[in-house]
C-alpha cells in the first residue's frame, strides 16, 4: 500500500473494514448521499473500484476531451471528469480566445469543477460513440469488468 495514491490507500482500508464487518453490500445503496467520498476524482486505477456508489470532486481545469469512452455507461479506462461533462452532470465551456476548431476536431473545453456521483456497474458489451455537450466520446469494442454510470445529485 505504501506506493499507492492516498485515495487508493483509503479505498483499500475502507474495503478491508467493510469485509471484516460483513457489510460490503451496505455500500451499494442507490442514494447519492450514501456514496463513498473519494475526495479528488482519481485519474487512474478506476477499474479497481468495486461495484458501488462513489462521489468525487473534479477540479477546475482544461479538459482532455479524448479520454471519454461510451455514452450513458462509460469505460473505466476513460477519465471521470471528462465523462461527467459528456454525461451532462458537470458543465464546461470553450476555452476563451481559441480559434474555431477545424472539421473533425473537438473544441478545447474547460470546467469550473464540481462534485460528481457515479456508480460502478457491470460493463456493457461495447462502449458506443456519441457527440454530447461538446465532446465526441470514443467507441471501444473492449468489454471491461466494470463501467461507471453517473447519478444525479
Q: Which residue would you say has higher pLDDT here, 64 or 88?
A: 88
Measure Cα distances from 7 to 19, 24, 48, 55, 101 in Å.
18, 18, 12, 12, 36
Handedness of CA 65, 66, 69, 70 (dihedral sign): positive
Within a domain: residue 80? Answer: yes
Q: Which residue would you say has higher pLDDT here, 134 or 58?
A: 58
pLDDT digits (tens, 9 = 90+) for 18-55: 443 444 444 334 456 789 999 999 988 888 999 999 99
Within a domain: residue 54? Answer: yes
The domain containing residue 46 runs over which residues?
28-151
Q: Measuring CA to CA, which residue among 43, 31, 119 is closest to residue 81?
A: 43
Within a domain: residue 124? Answer: yes
Q: What is the pLDDT of residue 14?
A: 46
Within a domain: residue 32? Answer: yes
Q: What is the pLDDT of residue 148?
A: 96
Within a domain: residue 34? Answer: yes
pLDDT digits (tens, 9 = 90+) for 52-80: 999 999 999 888 667 899 999 999 989 99
Handedness of CA 106, 129, 73, 151 (dihedral sign): positive
Within a domain: residue 8? Answer: no
Domain count, the chain: 1
Alpha helix segments (H runs only) across the chain: 6-21, 80-87
Mean pLDDT of the chain: 80
Within a domain: residue 17? Answer: no
* Beta strand ranges found along the chain (DSSP E): 36-40, 52-58, 61-62, 70-71, 73-75, 93-94, 109-111, 114-122, 131-132, 135-136, 146-151
Cβ partners under 8 Å of residue 29, min gap 6: 53
Q: What is the pLDDT of residue 27?
A: 39
C-alpha atoms less than 13 angstroms from C-alpha of 3 in its C-beta half-sphere: 0
Q: Tell me the CATH number at 91.
A: 2.170.130.20
Q: What is the pTM of this model?
A: 0.74
Amino acid at each position: 500500500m505504501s506506493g499507492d495514491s492516498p485515495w487508493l490507500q483509503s479505498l483499500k482500508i475502507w474495503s478491508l473494514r467493510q469485509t471484516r464487518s460483513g457489510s460490503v453490500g451496505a455500500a451499494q445503496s442507490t442514494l447519492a448521499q450514501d456514496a463513498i467520498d473519494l475526495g479528488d476524482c482519481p485519474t487512474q486505477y478506476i477499474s479497481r473500484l468495486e461495484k458501488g456508489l462513489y462521489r468525487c470532486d473534479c477540479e477546475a481545469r482544461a479538459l482532455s476531451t479524448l479520454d471519454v469512452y461510451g455514452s450513458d455507461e462509460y469505460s473505466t479506462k476513460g477519465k471521470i471528469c471528462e465523462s461527467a461533462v459528456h454525461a451532462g452532470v458537470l458543465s464546461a465551456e470553450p476555452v476563451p480566445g481559441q480559434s474555431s476548431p477545424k472539421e473533425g476536431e473537438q473544441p478545447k473545453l474547460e470546467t469550473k469543477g464540481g462534485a460528481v456521483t457515479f456508480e460502478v456497474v457491470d460493463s456493457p458489451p461495447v462502449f458506443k460513440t456519441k457527440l454530447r455537450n461538446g465532446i465526441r466520446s470514443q467507441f471501444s469494442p473492449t468489454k471491461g469488468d466494470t463501467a461507471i454510470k453517473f447519478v444525479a445529485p
